[in-house]
């Protein structure tokens, strides 16, 4: 995931946030300068011979915000809405129907569905994606059960 921001919160300077979805490694550059990681959630950069800090709060799944020198927070990823949890909770049905196999499939599709529906703004697209994912998850479940 890569986000590029340049607005009032960044003093009209370019902030680039990069995070590898597989490894979780984060990289930030501010005004063309690569920031140095102090720990997983804090980065530093030098501006006018003064050390400044960028703090990261949250994660890409449940909402992600940055704070530059403890000022206004910059939202990079919106948090999950309550109805997105409800839509993804339909996959828990597989736990009840299919025990361990159904639970595994349901858990995988729960997370996949959260990631997919976060990429759409319109609610009807989110509902459509959830219904398609439900159909695919049940199809995979019945295919596996049929093979056993």
For residue range 99-109, list pLDDT tens digits in order: 888 888 888 99
Burial of 101: CB neighbours in 10 Å, binned 0-12, 13-18, 19+: middle
- d(Cα 148, Cα 95) in Å, to the nearest integer? 17
For residue range 24-38, list pLDDT tens digits in order: 888 999 888 899 999
How many CB atoms are closer than 10 A to CB 119? 9
Nearest to 112 by CA among 24, 21, 19, 3: 21
Domain edges within the chain: 2-77, 82-147
Across the range 115-128, mean pLDDT stands at 89
Q: What is the pTM of this model?
A: 0.66
CATH code for the domain defined by 2-77: 2.40.128
Q: Residue 85 — pLDDT band, cuts 50, 70, 90?
A: confident
Instruction: Yes or no: say if 35 and 54 are a contact pair by the CB < 8 Å rule.
Output: yes
- d(Cα 120, Cα 129) in Å, to the nearest integer? 9
Nearest to 36 by CA among 44, 27, 24: 44
Model pLDDT, residue 125: 93
Model pLDDT, residue 132: 94
């Amino acid at each position: 995931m890569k986000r590029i921001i340049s607005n009032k919160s960044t003093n009209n300077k370019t902030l680039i946030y990069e995070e590898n979805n597989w490894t979780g490694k984060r990289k930030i550059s501010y005004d063309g300068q690569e920031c140095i990681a102090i720990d997983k959630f804090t980065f530093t950069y030098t501006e006018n011979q003064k050390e400044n800090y960028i703090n990261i709060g949250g994660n890409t799944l449940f909402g992600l915000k940055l704070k530059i020198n403890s000022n206004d927070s910059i939202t990079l990823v919106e948090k999950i809405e309550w109805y997105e949890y409800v839509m993804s909770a339909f996959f828990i049905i597989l736990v009840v129907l299919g025990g361990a196999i159904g639970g595994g499939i349901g858990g995988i599709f729960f997370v996949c569905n959260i990631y997919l529906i976060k990429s759409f703004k319109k609610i009807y697209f989110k509902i459509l994606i959830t219904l398609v994912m439900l159909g695919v998850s049940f199809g995979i479940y019945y295919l596996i059960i049929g093979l056993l």
